[in-house]
């Protein structure tokens, strides 16, 4: 059935899924999945390629209506799927404003780019941007509409370690300022543990494990408690057997 939309996010949740299934021919990508995400909650969806993460995000983004079950999703939502989509013949500030109604407002675009640290690149052409700058531009565009739900599908994949760490810190700061609910799909157990309030481990279209993270922010990967958490998540992913 098509997704229904909350008119008022403050009812009690940003996402309410009940018995969601999605099949592609004989392959079931999502299997009777239930999920609740509270307003302002940061949830990481952790899983290997093919586990169903992207399919679930497409359902939540109203990009896939071929599912069964009930999906109630905040109407103000933004999506950042890779690769970031930039129009090559428009300068960066105009790209940030794409799809928004009304006349282009450079001041608004400049403020959004400043929030992600690349205001100085406002007049750059997309082909002149680094991959890290392109990812930041995608975040600026996603947050410009002040969403209640932000959907991110492996937004930092392909970045080098230094750029990835900076992007993760940037996302954490943006979430603290905007306080929207976030669902981050990732294959990186450390990234999930660093950023999320709650981690869901997904396999074969189902959530097989969830863990609420009580560690204080900012989190230190060298902390023994953090290392144990990461080990448990890697175990559930099948990477480090025996940790749980």
Domain boundaries, the chain: 4-237
pLDDT tens by residue, 122-161: 999 999 999 999 999 999 999 998 999 999 999 998 889 9
Residue 98: the pLDDT is 87
Q: Which of 95, 170, 158, 112 is nearest to 131 (CA)?
A: 158
Class of domain 4-237: alpha beta
pLDDT interval class at 99 (50, 70, 90)? confident
Residue 179: the pLDDT is 93
pLDDT tens by residue, 16-38: 999 999 999 999 999 999 999 99
Q: In what order do the strands lie in the sheet with 42-46?
A: 77-80, 149-153, 181-186, 42-46, 198-203, 206-212
Residue with tokens 């509409």: 145
Residue 192: the pLDDT is 97
User: Above 60 in pLDDT, residue 96?
Assistant: yes
pLDDT tens by residue, 165-174: 999 999 999 9
Could you give the percent of the chain with pLDDT greater than 90? Answer: 82
- Pairing mode, strands 4-6 and 68-74: parallel
């Amino acid at each position: 059935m098509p997704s229904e939309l909350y008119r008022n996010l403050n009812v009690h949740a940003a996402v309410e899924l009940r018995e969601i299934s999605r099949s592609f021919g004989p392959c079931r990508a999502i299997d009777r999945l239930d999920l609740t995400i509270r307003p302002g909650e940061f949830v990481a969806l952790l899983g290997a390629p093919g586990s169903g993460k992207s399919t679930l995000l497409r359902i939540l983004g109203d990009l896939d209506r071929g599912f069964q079950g009930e999906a109630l999703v905040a109407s103000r939502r933004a999506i950042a799927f890779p690769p970031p989509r930039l129009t090559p013949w428009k300068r960066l500030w105009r790209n940030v404003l794409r799809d928004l109604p009304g006349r282009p407002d450079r001041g608004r675009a400049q403020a959004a780019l400043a929030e992600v640290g690349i205001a100085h690149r406002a007049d750059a052409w997309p082909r002149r941007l680094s991959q890290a700058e392109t990812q930041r531009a995608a975040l600026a565009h996603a947050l410009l509409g002040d969403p209640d739900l932000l959907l991110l599908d492996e937004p930092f994949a392909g970045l080098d370690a230094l750029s990835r760490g900076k992007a993760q810190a940037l996302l954490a700061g943006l979430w603290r300022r905007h306080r929207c609910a976030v669902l981050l799909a990732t294959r990186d157990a450390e990234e999930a543990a660093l950023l999320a309030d709650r981690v869901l481990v997904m396999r074969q279209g189902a959530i097989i494990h969830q863990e609420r993270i009580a560690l204080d922010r900012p989190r230190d990967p060298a902390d023994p408690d953090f290392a144990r958490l990461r080990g448990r998540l890697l175990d559930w992913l099948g990477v480090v057997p025996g940790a749980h």
